[in-house]
Structure 1
Amino acid sequence: MTPEDRFPGPEHPHSGPRHQPDLDVLPYGTYYEPEPATGYQGAPYDAETYSGYGGARYLEQHWPVDGQGHGHTVHAQGTGTDHGPVDQSAVLSHQGQSQGDYEGGYETAGYEGGYDAQDHPGYEPTLPDQPSPALQLADRDDPPTIELGPPLPDPAAPTYPYPAPGPGEPPGPVYVVGDVHGYLDELRAELHHQGLIDADGHWSAGRARIWFLGDFTDRGPDGIGVIDLVMQLAAEAAAAGGYCRALMGNHELLFLGAHKYGDEPVQSTAGTASFLAAWRLNGGQQNDLDRLEAHHISWLSRLPAIGLEDGHLLLHSDTTAYLEYGESIPDVNDAVHGVLADGGVDEWWDCFRRFTKRFAFRGDAGPTAVHELLDTYGGSRIVHGHSPIPYLTGAVHADDGQPPHIPGPYVYADDLAVAMDGGVTMEGRLLVARLPI
């Protein structure tokens, strides 16, 4: 258990800074500090784009969402997923209000996305032996042709300020988003600053690809609002030929475990009696739990634990615990999903506990740990969240009382690892960066 895990946040995210305990080991690395962002706005992908970092305090897979919800409805058609064409209707809600990581996920509630296809028998008319009067008339004197034109567009279908991708077009740039922890306003501001969403919070990034590195809830004011936004962007991005995906973080496991198991006792050596107790200790917001619905649960429970994009191995946690779940990316994801679907409370707790471990890539042994993961799962560099950069760098030791200075992602472990958790819960920054860094 780390200092972050031991000390929960304040009652309200704006009620003051948290006590920052000391850390005993500091890594060696460098900040990636780009020049000011010039904006994206769907510009050609060969134009130079910088990653800026905003916010004073400061996704999933791509399957469609179809179920009971409230609020904004998006009807979209497009491609850009691993499963082929997408025809989806995402019902999403935007609501909101919320606050440390412990040891240790979730109920696969009955939610199924998609549509039931119905085949109707076709009708093939037969002509009589004697032509009808209309056919006889057509033989003698062809009537004038009337151009009907294309079908009228569906007024409910969304429109986008960029052309649909053509066949064979290369994929768009890749962006990664660090831990959000319920800070919805800061997330919207940074995505808009990068040109990835418009002023109304809708996808404006064309064929770009975005990966959220997990930890959407807890500690901050509006975790459910963050989840709703990521689900919405996943649907809108697919319609535009890009995609928005997300990894499962340890706080997703904790949140789902609190919902499924509540106060049911767990076998823990850290003194925590239940998922619900651990969730509350680590910044769980009752407002998020009260607004958790079946479609949120289904979406969260199907998030992958690990991904690979353009040579970057994407993880939530800076730990080698992934190796305990399989020797390939599909094996790891299937194993975690199997625990969530069929495991009991102790298996859930053990999964949460493993993915709460951190700091495996620090110090002299850090590069070796990184290579172990890269050699197993592929890629040339790891990009992760989970461990706040202020802890990795010792920025929490500032004696002047000022918030930690986090200019950008932190590159360390012989340049093999990139940390993306900017410490939004510690008055740091919410980081969004374009790869490669």
Structure 2
Amino acid sequence: MNRGDTVKIQTIPEARPDTGDGRGPLYVVGDVHGYLDELVAALAAQGLIDADGNWAAGNARLWFLGDFTDRGPDGIGVIDLVMRLSAEAAAAGGYCKALMGNHELLLIGAKRFSDTPVNSGAGTATFQAAWLLNGGQKSDMDRLQDVHLQWMSRLDAVVEEDGHLLMHSDTTAYLDYGSTIEDVNDTITAILTRNDADECWDLFRKLTKRFAFRDEGGADAVRELLSTYGGQRIVHGHSPIPYLLGEVGTEDGEDGSGPVVNGPHVYADGLAIAMDGGVTMAGKLLVVQLPLHD
């Protein structure tokens, strides 16, 4: 596979052999952003859930790369599904886990701090205004419960699985929070626990940065993260594949069609895999088995 390739994924589930050490196959899910129906369809297409929406993948391992809410119609429904599948997968000998996305930080901040002014670097801002500007849905806020907030605030930001370094954002800002995966996750959890509005805003701002792996020097940025945290490839969400490819949705089209996304985008000398298929711009909600068949 060449750098800059976009992989076409299988839509018919194949047999899922385990890894030889008792662990099941590994899957990742890109940004969902409240598109619950699309998520259910994508999980079912991979054989991960049955027709009733229950876990059907035995000892498979499933990682969500973050951004469950905002923009789409049912972010809380998405979180409820992921929480339920986590319990069902664990009971079946597998697991369903999730990473912290910048929109989780945004929703937590909007709920906790609302209109409290924060130092934005360009004057003052508020989490509430930023949340609304970035697709915040009143229906999500109305249904947001303590159990959802507690679940989101405990999510890890970075994890390594089978040589894949999983993270939400295509940024090197994770390096600001520790030199090991454990340090990064502990530091971010501690920030959310301290509950300081300015500190939480700075975390949100840094993890909202994007495109660190796309342009000249991008492969070196990936290598720095891999050499620090481990793994052979980064798998991330956050930046929609149409943006990474220089496409911006339907603005230039007259037929109303969205961008064509067939699968994850491999780039940065083959060291990075982008998983945000642009579901919010009529793209594709990606659920993919790793490793990719290069």
Q: TM-score, normalised by structure 1?
A: 0.64
Alignment partner, residue 12 of structure 2:
38
The answer to whether structure 1 residue 259 and structure 2 residue 111 are counterparts is yes
Which of 353, 359, 369 pairs up with 2:221? 369
List per-residue Cα deviations over 1:346-405 (Å, max 9, x = no partner).
000000000000000012200100000000000000000000001000122774333111
C-alpha deviation, 1:271, in angstroms: 5.5
User: Do the aligned residues in 1 keep the contact of 2:106 with 2:131 (CA within 8 Å)?
Assistant: yes
C-alpha deviation, 1:46, in angstroms: 6.3
User: Do the aligned residues in 2 keep the contact of 1:272 with 1:278 (CA within 8 Å)?
Assistant: no
The answer to whether structure 1 residue 29 and structure 2 residue 29 are counterparts is no
Alignment of 1:11-410 (within 5 A): 29-34=4-9, 36-40=10-14, 43=15, 45=17, 170-270=22-122, 273-396=125-248, 399-401=252-254, 402-410=257-265
Secondary structure of 1:367 counterpart: helix
- Number of residue pairs the alignment of both structures matches: 287
- Read off the aligned partner of 2:95 and give its amino acid letter: Y
Question: 1:404 & 1:271 partners in 2: Cα distance?
Answer: 36
Whose radius of gyration is greater, 1 or 2?
1
Which of 396, 414, 417 pairs up with 2:269? 414
- Read off the aligned partner of 2:6 and give its amino acid letter: Y
Alignment partner, residue 287 of structure 2:
432
Q: Percent identity?
A: 65
List per-residue Cα deviations over 1:229-255 (Å, max 9, x = no partner).
000000000000000000000000000
Secondary structure of 1:297 counterpart: helix
User: Do the aligned residues in 1 keep the contact of 2:249 with 2:258 (CA within 8 Å)?
Assistant: no
List per-residue Cα deviations over 1:299-331 (Å, max 9, x = no partner).
110000100000000010000000000000000
Question: 2:249 & 2:162 partners in 1: Cα distance?
Answer: 36
- Read off the aligned partner of 1:30 and give its amino acid letter: D
List per-residue Cα deviations over 1:103-122 (Å, max 9, x = no partner).
xxxxxxxxxxxxxxxxxxxx
User: Do the aligned residues in 2 keep the contact of 1:174 with 1:208 (CA within 8 Å)?
Assistant: yes
Select the structure that is richer in helix: 2
- Read off the aligned partner of 2:268 and give its amino acid letter: A
- Read off the aligned partner of 2:253 and give its amino acid letter: D
List per-residue Cα deviations over 1:143-180 (Å, max 9, x = no partner).
xxxxxxxxxxxxxxxxxxxxxxxxx9520100000000
Question: 2:54 & 2:18 partners in 1: Cα distance?
Answer: 23
- Read off the aligned partner of 2:102 and give its amino acid letter: N
Question: 1:186 & 1:272 partners in 2: Cα distance?
Answer: 37
- Supply the RMSD in Å over aligned alpha carbons: 1.6
C-alpha deviation, 1:272, in angstroms: 5.7
C-alpha deviation, 1:270, in angstroms: 4.2
List per-residue Cα deviations over 1:394-433 (Å, max 9, x = no partner).
1227743331110100000000000000001111110010
User: Do the aligned residues in 1 keep the contact of 2:249 with 2:281 (CA within 8 Å)?
Assistant: no
Q: TM-score, normalised by structure 2?
A: 0.94
Question: 1:232 & 1:264 partners in 2: Cα distance?
Answer: 33
C-alpha deviation, 1:344, in angstroms: 0.9
What stretches of structure 2 of length at least 5 have no aligned partner? none
Question: 1:258 & 1:298 partners in 2: Cα distance?
Answer: 14
- Read off the aligned partner of 1:390 and give its amino acid letter: P
List per-residue Cα deviations over 1:185-225 (Å, max 9, x = no partner).
00001101110000110000000000000000000000000
Q: Which ranges of 4 or more aligned residues in structure 1 deviate by more than 4 Å?
A: none
C-alpha deviation, 1:39, in angstroms: 2.2
Question: 2:249 & 2:40 partners in 1: Cα distance?
Answer: 30
Secondary structure of 1:313 counterpart: strand
Secondary structure of 1:331 counterpart: helix
- Read off the aligned partner of 1:380 and give its amino acid letter: Q
C-alpha deviation, 1:284, in angstroms: 0.2
Secondary structure of 2:28 counterpart: strand
